[in-house]
Amino acid sequence: MSPTYSRREFLIGSAALAGGVAFGSYSLGVLATTPEPNNPLLTGLGPESATFNPWVKITPEGITLVTPHADVGQGVVAIQAALIAEEMDLELAQFDTDFGPPSPVYYNGGLVEEFAPFMATDLSPEAEAARAAALQWLKEQGMQMTGGSSTVPDSYTKLRVAGAVARETLKAAASKRTGIPVSELGTKAGAVLLPGGATIPYTALAAAAATLAPIEEVTLRDPSQWRLLGKTMQRLDVEAKCTGSLQFGIDLVMDGMVYAAVKLNPHKGAPMTGFNAGKAETMPGVQQIFPVTNGIAVVATNTWYAMKAAEAVECQWAEADYPSEQADHWAMVEATFTPDQADKIWRKDGDMEKALATAEVLEAEYRVPYAAHQPLEPLNAVALVRDDSVEVWTGHQIPQGVEQMAAALTGLQPEQATFYNQYSGGSFGHRLEFEHVRYAVEVANKMRGTPVKLTFSREEDFLQDFPRQIGMGRNRGAVKDGKIIAADFHIATTSAIRSMFGRMGMPSTDPDSQIPSGVWNMTYGIPNFRTTAYAVTGLSPTSSWRSVGAVTAGFIGESFIDELIHAAGQDPLQARIELCTVDYHRKVLEAVAKMADWDGPLGNGQGRGVAFVESFGVPVAEVIDVTATDKGIRIDKVWVAADVGGVLDPINFENQVQGGVVWGLGHAMNCELTYADGRVQQTNFHVHEGMRIHQCPPIEVMGLANGPKIRGIGEPPVPPAGPALANAIFAATGQRIREMPFNKFINFV
């Protein structure tokens, strides 16, 4: 990874490379304009074993499929394996999976949209050329990264090709052994099928296959022939997660392992100026207490002893470089709305000033606070440092980053660092950050030869969380003759992307497309339409939070569109359908209207709202029904339609959509992080609980397949949830809520 980069420069500089890249060509070799990194599975490959590419390994004992995208609960081990197994003719019980070693060969090509700033609906040659160039650049960078709902887009073709290459090579090996032409061989259930019905298991062919060059030119099966994909599948990790036998990172145990806890400066990023461990050192189970970057660590014989002693250490902290009080954070957001501080004008259709001068102008201001990630498995990692090696076990979405940090902290060479990825108990963006890695390695480096398990207490995890961006929208618009003629969005938030990449040593000054995500890419045919983004600086560090910018901009945008539609005297859903200019987007709106049996207002204290946001290339429409009861707002039901271009795993798709809606609603209703005395005031779930089961409505889900590309579903259901609820509350009560969390303004049952 280069220390600094510019997406703009990259796009100009690498556009010339685009000509050599062909989409849809089913060969792993076609994309190789630079030398292929070696297949890491060749290292330590035993006798009579074969690997045809970095995703498939066969030994006499069994078959291993490598699933390099991190599984943080979104089910990507299962879908990656299913993509390979589909083409390889494996049953789901016939293989093991492994996260594999960190390697540039596992670069994530699914991130192209993030590096090619065109609307996802723009399929012009210019946009496609930019995406092709971005893909080439991602390959050259070789960065393995899970995020941006990109696992399925990255894997969809690549892993099916990997499975097909394995299948064809195994058939070639069977042909060589039996003398039967390949054209007369088939494959089924982990074996090559001979004419007459006899079979040779893949495991028995590994040794012979290993002597052949992999057959790279393959034909992928037509989706109509799929056995697994698109059908109901049993997710591979479900049973182990229901018996307690699935081992998360936090469950690892090693011989001689010690347990650690940390107490770090809650003024994030600022140093510790002094500490007194006198009392803590005498507490039970405590072995060592020493300073680490910006705080102290306690090593003990049990995690609880370590946490209790860490609490008892008295520390003096320096102040952070961001304001200590929440009101000053908001003031700095407000002060960013000046033309000279614009990050970028992302879209400018028509003549805004002229349009606003011809009609009455509607103005509204929106606010979205900081919110925490807080997956239920707290940050933790196991590290073991020796004089010639450093090893780290934890769940992480950027494997090479873990190895680079481990090497840098120990003074060892990058090739002496090894990372073993683990199943994670959630992430929502939290495991794109490195605090658990940093401190586990720092502690283990002081105790070389001893494995250390570091666990953050929930309170410490909240205090050190780099939260969701804070932001505001200042919107103007106008209606005339029952139609919206102008919508002018000004959106100011901190840049989660710049903050995060800055911490990784990859500072960027390019405009952050996440700030206006969900607004600048609206597909409403409003003649005068403008989106201006502002990046707020000098505030708390922030980081990617499930759906990133679209959760803030989506609320700012779709609430205000609703206001304009009401001002125009139109039906909120019918108006959106009529405004929509892209066919497969409109079909999403029409689908949700049909699902919810949308037929105008409900009356009798009930209200229904709709919101429609496209993020990560996925248009999602949500309708929410609420009832205003004596005890507050009750959410009665949610309907969701989303177009990912084809649903590969229907059960997990539904689960991800429902979970995304719960995430979006729960935080919009109930959650914020606020600063006082320079530290976050909310440090456990009783004051930042998201949603609990009693608030969760039935959520009906439909996946559509009209979109032109296969997309991921982890994040896109989140952004419409908040505005759909706010719009429903307006319909039920006449109260327009323009700030999260909504429970500051209205009660929920």
Partner 1 sequence: MIQLTVNGKERQVDVVPDMPLLWVLRDELGITGPKYGCGIAQCGACTVTIDGLPVRSCQARIGLLEGAQVQTIEGMTTKPFRAVQQAWIEHQVPQCGYCQTGQIMQAAALLATTPNPTDDDINAAMAGNLCRCGTYARIRTAIHAAATQLSPTHSTES
Residue 605, SS3?
A: coil
Tokens for 294?
A: 């910006």
CA distance 621 to 593: 9
Taking the least distance from each CB to partner 1, the nearer of 73 and 549 is: 73
The amino acid occupying position 329 is H
Shortest Cβ 729–partner 1 spacing (Å): 20
Residues that bind partner 1 (CB under 8 A): 72-75, 234-235, 237-248, 250-251, 253, 259, 284-285, 301-305, 307, 374-378, 423-426, 428, 455, 457-458, 651-652, 655-656, 658-663, 666, 684-686, 689-694, 696, 698-699
Cβ 392 vs Cβ 383: under 8 Å: yes
- What single-letter DSSP state applies at residue 639? E
Which one, 380 or 528, has the nearer CB to partner 1? 380
**What phi, psi does 113 have (nearest 5°)?**
-60, -30
Closer Cβ to partner 1, 205 or 662, answer by number: 662
Q: Which two tokens stand for residue 618?
A: 């996925």
Our CB check for partner 1 shows the closer of 215 and 306 to be 306
For CA atoms 186, 188, 190, 196, the dihedral sign is negative
Q: Provide the minimum distance between the beta carbon of 423 and partner 1 in the complex, in angstroms, as a whole number.
A: 8
CB of 425 to partner 1, least distance (A): 3
Beta carbons within 8 Å of 43's beta carbon, 6+ residues apart: 101
- Cβ–Cβ under 8 Å, residues 663 and 546: yes
Determine contact, residues 463/683, Cβ cutoff 8 Å.
yes
Nearer to partner 1 by Cβ, of 89 and 654: the residue is: 654
Stretch (H or E) spanning 669? helix 650-670
Nearest to 643 by CA among 612, 620, 672: 620
Provide the 3-class DSSP secondary structure of residue 184: helix
Which tokens sit at 317? 């902290």
Place of tokens 């990172």: 249
Least distance CB 737 / partner 1 (angstroms): 22
Considering the complex, what minimum distance in angstroms separates the CB of residue 727 from partner 1? 21
Cα–Cα dist 498/535, whole Å:
10
Question: Beta strand 199-201 with 191-193: parallel, antiparallel or unpaired?
Answer: antiparallel
Positive/negative CA dihedral, 44, 46, 52, 57: negative
Min. distance of Cβ 664 from partner 1 in angstroms? 9
Answer whether 523's CB lies under 8 Å from 580's CB.
yes
Question: 523 and 582 in contact (C-beta within 8 Å)?
Answer: yes
Specify whether the CB–CB gap between 202 and 60 falls below 8 A: no
Residue 55: closest CA among 86, 18, 19:
86
Return d(Cα 1, Cα 504) in angstroms, integer. 10
CB-based burial of residue 138 (10 Å sphere; 0-12 exposed, 13-18 middle, 19+ buried)?
buried
Rounded to a whole number of angstroms, the minimum distance from the CB of residue 301 to partner 1 is 8
**Shorter beta-carbon distance to partner 1: residue 107 or 456:** 456
What's the half-sphere exposure (Cβ side, CA atoms, 13 Å) at 117?
20
Q: How far is the CB of 528 from partner 1 (least distance, A)?
A: 38
Joined tokens for residue 541 = 């560090």
Measured from the CB atom, the residue of 177 and 241 that comes closer to partner 1 is: 241
**Shortest gap between Cβ of 714 and partner 1 (angstroms)?**
10
List all residues 6 or more positions away from 384 whose beta carbon is below 8 Å from its beta carbon.
254, 390, 391, 444, 449, 450, 451, 452
Q: Is 619 helix (H, G, I), strand (E, B) or coil?
A: strand
- Report the residue number, 174 or 299, with the smaller CB distance to partner 1: 299
- How many CA atoms lie less than 13 Å away from 116 in the CB half-sphere? 31
CB of 660 to partner 1, least distance (A): 7
CB-wise, 78 or 732, nearer to partner 1? 78
CB of 417 to partner 1, least distance (A): 26
Token representation of residue 99: 């996260």
Minimum distance from residue 428 beta carbon to partner 1 (Å): 7
Question: Minimum CB separation from partner 1 for residue 241, in Å?
Answer: 3
> Using alpha carbons only, what angle is made at residue 487 by residues 482 and 492, rounded to the nearest 5 degrees?
150
- For partner 1, the closer CB: 659 or 719: 659
User: Of the two residues 259 and 346, which places its CB atom closer to partner 1 in the complex?
Assistant: 259
In the complex, what is the shortest distance from the CB of residue 240 to partner 1, in angstroms, rounded to a whole number? 8
Q: Which is nearer to partner 1, 238 or 504 (CB)?
A: 238
